Structure 1
Amino acid sequence: MSPEAKKDPKANETTQYSPDWIREEVSRLVELHESGTMPSIVQLGHPVLRMQAVDHAEQLGEKLLRRFLDTMKAVMLDAPGVGLAAPQLGVPLRIAVLEDLYETSPEIAAARQREPLEYLEIINPRYYPVGERMAEFYEGCLSFNGYQGVVVRPSDITTSFTDVYGRARERLFSGWQARIFQHETDHLDGIVYIDKALSRSLCSSLEYARWANPDVDQARRGLDF
């Protein structure tokens, strides 16, 4: 059992995950990170991964929010991953961090519409499809270790969120960047990618390299989905 699991509140529903509890838990995670220990990423089955996260409305304050975002970024990069949502640390707040600067081949980049995504912090994000283009590819999740599944998602989205200073932002994303934004924002609505995946596409990470070459056509034939 992880330290996070041991610290889950046992109080009744009116006090569970209260603003006070959220501040205390975020402080604990930040202090753990700043002491040199990386907080654990919670796994599927943890209740926060199935909750509707609450909007961040100054619960943490400016300084604690900044420290929490730094902790989230460190956990994401250490995993390694291209995104991390607060519920993946057991905190039901609508906060996520994104970054995808990993090198990839031109062939894979073209097939997956993958462009570098500079580090981005999104607070209280929402997304909406733009147009009718759809794209499908394998996704994995740091909270569902060991598996990959094909998810069909809108190729183009418009988004709204606030930054760490509380300023409203709007951005358009396409391709792989749109996929990352949708995946992490879904976490804030209690949705894990497996909820949207084509079930017959599911494969272990050990088998993943067999099918990601560089699109999913071979996987569709081999796994019959």
Structure 2
Amino acid sequence: MAILKIARMGHPVLLREAEPVDDPTGPEIRRLIADMAETMLDAAGIGLAAPQVHVPLRLFVYRDGAGVATLVNPELEPLGEELESGWEGCLSIPGLRGCVARPKRIRWRGLDAEGHPVSGEAEGLTARVMQHETDHLDGVLYPMRMEDLALFGFTEELARAAGSVTR
């Protein structure tokens, strides 16, 4: 396994739509998934999409409880119209955070790392991570989803400002 280089905001690979994965069980895809999981954990991330490591394919890895899960060729749909705002960061936009409104609950489906169909429903942080990573597969970065850029800034400054509000 290897730690992969993470593309940063401004790199063209992050702004294009990723291609479907034909065979998730192929050796190159298995190696990519393992390397992505190692890279995500090394960077203390909670999700990582293939375009973020310069591979324009429709797959991502994410923390799932104590382990790492993979979703290949994901399809997401909102369950209901309720939105939830939350702070997001991104390994491709280091040091910054922004507040993004996203559907609170989603239904998802795709393939796992073994090529088996998987599906389910998610809410809370898992739903947010799945939506964030799927956005990467569509060439969308979270600042593009933000409605109020006053809620976008460097993590350290936002933490400092939050601390001064509570004093």
Please report the TM-score for the alignment, with normalisation by the length of structure 2: 0.90
1:144-163 mapped onto 2 (5 Å cutoff): 144-163=93-112
Equivalent residue, structure 1, for 2:50: 86
- The percentage of aligned residue pairs carrying the same residue is 38
Cα contact 1:56–1:123 (8 A) shared by 2: yes
1:117-196 mapped onto 2 (5 Å cutoff): 118-196=67-145
Q: C-alpha separation between the residues in 1 aligned to 2:73 and 2:66?
A: 19
Quote the RMSD (CA, aligned, Å). Answer: 1.8
Q: Structure 1 residue 208: deviation in Å? A: 2.7
Q: Between the two structures, name the one with larger relative contact order (CA 8 Å, sep ≥ 6).
A: 2
Letter in 2 for 1:139: E
Cα contact 1:138–1:212 (8 A) shared by 2: no
Cα contact 1:96–1:122 (8 A) shared by 2: yes
Letter in 2 for 1:42: A
Q: C-alpha separation between the residues in 1 aligned to 2:161 and 2:106?
A: 27
Higher-Rg structure is: 1
1:42 pairs with 2:7: yes
Q: Structure 1 residue 209: deviation in Å? A: 1.9
Q: Deviations over 1:110-146 (max 9, x none)?
A: xxxxxx4742100000111001221101101100112
Between Structure 1 and Structure 2, the one with more strand by share is 2
CA distance 1:55–1:134, change in 2 (3 Å): same
Letter in 2 for 1:88: Q
Q: Deviations over 1:158-177 (max 9, x none)?
A: 01111122221111001111
Please report the TM-score for the alignment, with normalisation by the length of structure 1: 0.68
Q: C-alpha separation between the residues in 2 aligned to 1:199 and 1:208?
A: 13
Gap regions ≥5 residues in structure 2: none
Number of aligned residue pairs:
163
Equivalent residue, structure 2, for 1:200: 150
